[in-house]
Amino acid sequence: VETPISAVGARDVGLVRPGARMPVDGVVIHGASEVDRSLLTGESLPVQASEGTLVSAGEVNLTGPLTVRVPAAGKESSLHRMADLVAVAEGAKTRYTSLADRAAKAYSPLVHILSFSAFGYWMWATGGDLRYAINISAAVLIITCPCALGLAVPAVITSASGKLFRKGLLIKHGTALERLAEVDTVVFDKTGTLTMGVPDPVALESHAPEDVAVAAALAAGSSHPLARALADGAKALGIAPADVTDLREVPGQGVEGLWQGARVRLGRADWCGAEAVASTASYLALAGRTHAFAFTDRPRQGAAEAVAAFLSAGMQVELLSGDSEAPVRALADRLGITRWRAGVLPAGKAARIAELTGEGRKVLMVGDGLNDTAALTSAHVSISPATALDAARVASDIVLLGQAMAPIAAAVRIGKQSARR
């Protein structure tokens, strides 16, 4: 029986099919599978789910059916709590006062004081010539009309926005450039932001073509991200899949089949009888031998240059990711980021932004996932790639239109130039 989400209550039990998105928070009470949590936590690889595993609304069930008991629904779900975080952060951001408004507050009283002072001075200098003093006082009011200020701000913003658009950055908010000029701290998300968010086989051509062909045939029978990447990598090398029959996916473990009358497997290390390596890998059990196909999450073009530019400008750079420690550490070391945290939940990211703001720092947040929306909204200014989820793009002030990260560093520099002008 299919039930509307609005009708689901606490302690209900539901079945989530392979390929379906978790509609509610829950606890797995039957079944085994792998779930993709990248939408909520930023974890680059799926995690195993079995009896007793906690799952959240928004996660994707990949390989096997799961029976889930619902302890919380509606306003008590993780997605609803995340929406509450975003709403609170949006309320705080609206308190920002633009440069023109701040200048106007001081401008008006200063002009009137100057005009009154001129009136008083010329009344004294002319021995009480009221008409002459009033004329000069009026002239001061007219000549200090805020036309220059009123024209300068939109002219500079229009020019700077056009320059940034040609570099691949779309300004969404009127005060984004002004806030960008005040930035002294940059916080990056990892998966999908500093990296492409897609696993990439490492040195696939170094493996025997026969091994790659068998692995590609097994990978074709799975929707797992590593399997898809392996199949695409073999295709790019021009290696056709081997003739593997009787394909069967084992939820949470991998894929097995028959090749030349022998049982072959592709999946987790323990299931294939292999010793796990430190890096992200998929394992092939073939003719009594095991092979490890390693993967990496490729950094975005220009990521290293952008980080280096921020560091050389004296800014503090941090990496906050929901991914596990090993890939986060590897990327941080590769890009030269010394401040990093792994396993950070959405609320934790928003809390870290609030902590930095409380220290008086002006934070630029760069992220792409649903798990980044609260942090993007609460940051002083925020940027998301065009490939980001709709929610992240809506929450951000600037959208990065291309794949390269280098324009982000240029945006901060142009923002500072615009503020000076």
Catalytic residues: 189
**Greatest C-alpha distance within the chain:** 116
Task: Determine the Cα–Cα distance for residues 240 and 219; give it in Å rounded to an integer.
Answer: 12
DSSP state of 128: S
Q: For residue 235, how many C-alpha atoms fall within 13 Å in the half-sphere facing its CB? A: 9
Instruction: Give the CA distances from residue 276 to residues 23, 259, 271, 280, 334, in Å, rounded to whole numbers and listed in that order.
Output: 33, 24, 11, 9, 23
Contact by Cβ (8 Å): 365, 379 = yes
Q: With 0-12 CB in 10 A as exposed, 13-18 as middle and 19+ as buried, what is 388? A: buried
Task: Determine the Cα–Cα distance for residues 140 and 127; give it in Å rounded to an integer.
Answer: 20
In the sheet where 33-36 sits, what is the strand order?
47-49, 33-36, 60-61
- From the list 126, 6, 20, the residue with the least C-alpha distance to 68 is 20
What SS3 class is residue 169?
Answer: strand
The CB density around residue 245, as the number of other CB atoms within 10 Å, is: 9
Contact by Cβ (8 Å): 238, 213 = no
Residues 6 or more apart whose CB falls under 8 angstroms from that of 203 comprise 294
